[in-house]
C-alpha cells in the first residue's frame, strides 16, 4: 500500500556518542517497552513517554502506531543491542514475528522515552562486487543520472527490475534496469506490467473528480445517502474527506485482525460484506478534519463510486480513465493483465504472490506500465482537462512542506515548483511518481522491490534525485 511500512514517531538526537556498551538505564527502559508491547499494553507504553514525546505523538496516534506495528510485524521475538548511533539513542536489532526491524529508543535523564523510531533493519552489505553494466543506446541519460540509478539500485536483490519514464518538456523517454548475478544491466521494460500499489489512490481520486465534473456527486457532500448501509452512531463521511485523508477513518478497518491474515496476501478476504459490517457496527472516526492516511478511506471511496454507477472498480477505470488516456495495459484485475507481468520479489529476491484487495481495491489494486502512466502524467499538463485539474487543487495543508489535493500529495520543498507526487508499496513491488506541472516534467518508477525491503526507500530517493536532474537541465 503506502511505501512506509512502519511509521516514525519522533527521535531526539544529540551529539554523537562514543560508548558502545548498553547502559543499565537503556536496558531497563527497553526491557519494559518490550514487555508492554508484547502484552499489547499500549497505554502503559504511552505512560513511559516524556512530556515532549506525548506532545509530539498524542495518545490516539501512539495507539494507532503501535497497533499498526503489531499488525504488520507481530510481537517481538528477540532483540540484540547494536550500538549508540547518537547520545542516549540505543539501536537494537529486533526480530519480530514477521520482520527484522531496527528499533531506536532514546531515553532522557528521568528514564522516560523521548524518542522512538522503527524501520526495517539493514545489515551492512558489501556492494563493491556489484557490476555496473548500464548503457544508453538512445544517449539521453547523463553520467550523473547513470550514477544515481546505479547507486540507488545496487543494494536490491538479484532479479530486481526497475522501469523508469523520464518526462522532459512533455516528451518521454524510457529506461529500464535488471539486476542479475550481481550485475546491473539495461533492459527494455517500459511495457512490462507491475503492481503500482498506492499510486492507485490517484486514480480513485480521479474517478471522483470525473463524477464531480459530470454532476453526479458534489465534492463536499456525504457518501451516506448513496449507500444503503447504515453508519455506526450516524457518523458522516464526505467524498473529499476520503480523497484527501481527512475523514477520520483509521488506516485499516478494525473488524479484521490483520495480525492473523496471510501476510503474503493480507487483503484478499476483506470482502464487501465485511466493509458493510464495519460501517454499520465498527465505524469510529478520530481526528476528523486532520490528515490521517487511510487505505480504508480510499477503498471506501472506490466502493461508493462503484455503488453509484453499479460498476466494478476495474470497469470504472477502463471507461473513465484507461480508455481516455490510452492506458491499454492497465487493469485492477490480475486475470486481465496483458503482456509481461514482472513477478514481485521479497527481501531475498524470491517470487511472491500478487496482492488481491477485494473491497479495498481503490487503495492499491492497479497493475500498469510506465508507458501507460506516462500517458496519464502528460495529460496532467493539459490546462483544459477539468477532472485532472481538480485532482491537483490544494484541499488541505498537511504541514509546511506538503499539501494534498485529491489523491496527489503536493510537495513544496523539493523544487522551486510544486511537485505532484504519490508512491506505492505492496508485498512484491514499490513505485514512485512525481510530476512538475509548470515545467511539464516528470519521473515515474515501477519496480518489483518489496515494500518490506529494508532499502525500498531508495525508490522514492531515485525518483526525487532524478527529478532534480531534469529540473536543472
What's the start-to-end Cα distance of the chain, in Å? 33
pLDDT of residue 15: 33
Residues 336-345: pLDDT tens digits?
A: 998 899 999 9
pLDDT of residue 473: 62
Distances in whole angstroms, Cα of residue 70 to Cα of each of 99, 116, 207, 391, 429: 11, 15, 33, 34, 22
**Domains detected in the chain:** 24-120 (3.10.450.50), 194-220+312-472 (3.40.710.10)
pLDDT of residue 124: 57
Enumerate residue ranges in the chain where pLDDT < 70.
1-20, 123-128, 259, 413-415, 473
pLDDT of residue 262: 82
pLDDT of residue 19: 43
pLDDT of residue 340: 93
pLDDT of residue 68: 83
Distances in whole angstroms, Cα of residue 252 to Cα of each of 2, 65, 223, 292, 326: 12, 12, 19, 11, 33
DSSP 355-366: P--GGGGGGT--
Kindly report the backbone phi and psi dihedral angles of residue 470, in degrees, each rounded to the nearest multiple of 5, phi listed first: -80, -25
DSSP 28-91: HHHHHHHHHHHTT-HHHHHHTB-HHHHHHS-HHHHHHHHHHHHHHH-SEEEEEEEEEEETTEEE
Is there a contact between 447 and 164 (Cβ–Cβ < 8 Å)? no
38: cell is: 508484547
Burial level of 138, CB count in 10 A (0-12/13-18/19+)? exposed
pLDDT of residue 10: 40
Residues 82-130: pLDDT tens digits?
A: 888 877 889 999 999 878 888 999 998 899 999 898 887 876 555 667 8
pLDDT of residue 434: 97
Amino acid at each position: 500500500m503506502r511505501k512506509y511500512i512502519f511509521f516514525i514517531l519522533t527521535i531526539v538526537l544529540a551529539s554523537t556518542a562514543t560508548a558502545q556498551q548498553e547502559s543499565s538505564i537503556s536496558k531497563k527502559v527497553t526491557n519494559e517497552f518490550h514487555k508492554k508491547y508484547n502484552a499489547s499494553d499500549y497505554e502503559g507504553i504511552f505512560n513511559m513517554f516524556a512530556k515532549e514525546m506525548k506532545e509530539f505523538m498524542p495518545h490516539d496516534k501512539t495507539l494507532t502506531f503501535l497497533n499498526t506495528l503489531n499488525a504488520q510485524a507481530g510481537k517481538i521475538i528477540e532483540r540484540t543491542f547494536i550500538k549508540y548511533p547518537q547520545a542516549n539513542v540505543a539501536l537494537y536489532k529486533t526480530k519480530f514475528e514477521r520482520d527484522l526491524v531496527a528499533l531506536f529508543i532514546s531515553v532522557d535523564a528521568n528514564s522516560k522515552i523521548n524518542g522512538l523510531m522503527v524501520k526495517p533493519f539493514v545489515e551492512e552489505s558489501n556492494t563493491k562486487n556489484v557490476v555496473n553494466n548500464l548503457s544508453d543506446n538512445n544517449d539521453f541519460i547523463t553520467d550523473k543520472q547513470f550514477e544515481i540509478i546505479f547507486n540507488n539500485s545496487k543494494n536490491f536483490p538479484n532479479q530486481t527490475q526497475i522501469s523508469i519514464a523520464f518526462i522532459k518538456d512533455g516528451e518521454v523517454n524510457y529506461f529500464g534496469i535488471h539486476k542479475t548475478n550481481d550485475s546491473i544491466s539495461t533492459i527494455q521494460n517500459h511495457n512490462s506490467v507491475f503492481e503500482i500499489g498506492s499510486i492507485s489512490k490517484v486514480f480513485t481520486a480521479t474517478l471522483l473528480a470525473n463524477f464531480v465534473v459530470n454532476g453526479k456527486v458534489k465534492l463536499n457532500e456525504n457518501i451516506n445517502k448513496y449507500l444503503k448501509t447504515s453508519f455506526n452512531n450516524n457518523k458522516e463521511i464526505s467524498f473529499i474527506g476520503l480523497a484527501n485523508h481527512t475523514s477520520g477513518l483509521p488506516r485499516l478497518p478494525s473488524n479484521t485482525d490483520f495480525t492473523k491474515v496471510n501476510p503474503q496476501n493480507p487483503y484478499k478476504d476483506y470482502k464487501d460484506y465485511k466493509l458493510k459490517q464495519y460501517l454499520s457496527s465498527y465505524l469510529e472516526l478520530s481526528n476528523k478534519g486532520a490528515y490521517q492516511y487511510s487505505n480504508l478511506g480510499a477503498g471506501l471511496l472506490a466502493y461508493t463510486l462503484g455503488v453509484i454507477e453499479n460498476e466494478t472498480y476495474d470497469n470504472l477505470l477502463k471507461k473513465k480513465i484507461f480508455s481516455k488516456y490510452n492506458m491499454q495495459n492497465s487493469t485492477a484485475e490480475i486475470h486481465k493483465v496483458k503482456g509481461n507481468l514482472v513477478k514481485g520479489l521479497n527481501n531475498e529476491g524470491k517470487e511472491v504472490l500478487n496482492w488481491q484487495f477485494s473491497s479495498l481495491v481503490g487503495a492499491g489494486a492497479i497493475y500498469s506500465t510506465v508507458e501507460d502512466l506516462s500517458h496519464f502524467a502528460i495529460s496532467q499538463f493539459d490546462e483544459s482537462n477539468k477532472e485532472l485539474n481538480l485532482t491537483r487543487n490544494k484541499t488541505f495543508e498537511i504541514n509546511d512542506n506538503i499539501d494534498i489535493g485529491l489523491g496527489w500529495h503536493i510537495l513544496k520543498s523539493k523544487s522551486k515548483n510544486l511537485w505532484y507526487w504519490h508512491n506505492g508499496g505492496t508485498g512484491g513491488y514499490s513505485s514512485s511518481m512525481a510530476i512538475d506541472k509548470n515545467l511539464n516534467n516528470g519521473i515515474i518508477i515501477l519496480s518489483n522491490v518489496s515494500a518490506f525491503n529494508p532499502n525500498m526507500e531508495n525508490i522514492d530517493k531515485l525518483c526525487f534525485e532524478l527529478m532534480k536532474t531534469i529540473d536543472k537541465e
